């Protein structure tokens, strides 16, 4: 695949993803969004990105994935 086709494929995928998820901008915050997004002081500065990789996940933010049918 040449570079031109590759970049067109990337562009088309980005447009499709944007169209697919474009309705989420009108939605409100729910459940854990208040303390994870709205009140989280660590996501206000880009220099805090390494902290996401190094700090432990508080138990209040962890949701166990339940698997059924096995």
pLDDT, tens digit, 9 for 90 and up, residues 33-63:
777 777 777 788 888 878 777 766 665 556 6
Residue, of 69 and 7, whose pLDDT is higher? 7
In 1-70, alpha helices (H): 3-21, 33, 49-54
Q: Structure tokens of 33?
A: 């969004």
The sign of the torsion formed by the CA atoms of 41, 44, 50, 53 equals positive
pTM: 0.44
Using CA atoms, how far apart are residues 33 and 24, in angstroms rounded to an integer? 14
Q: Which pLDDT belongs to residue 45? A: 85
- Shortest CA distance to 19 belongs to which of 11, 30, 9? 11
Residue, of 67 and 8, whose pLDDT is higher? 8
Q: Give percent of the chain above pLDDT 90.
A: 27
């Amino acid at each position: 695949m040449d570079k031109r086709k590759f970049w067109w494929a990337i562009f088309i995928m980005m447009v499709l993803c944007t169209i697919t998820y474009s309705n989420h901008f009108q939605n409100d915050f729910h459940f854990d969004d208040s303390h994870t997004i709205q009140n989280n002081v660590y996501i206000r500065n880009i220099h805090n990105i390494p902290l996401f990789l190094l700090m432990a996940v508080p138990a209040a933010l962890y949701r166990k994935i339940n698997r059924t049918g096995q």
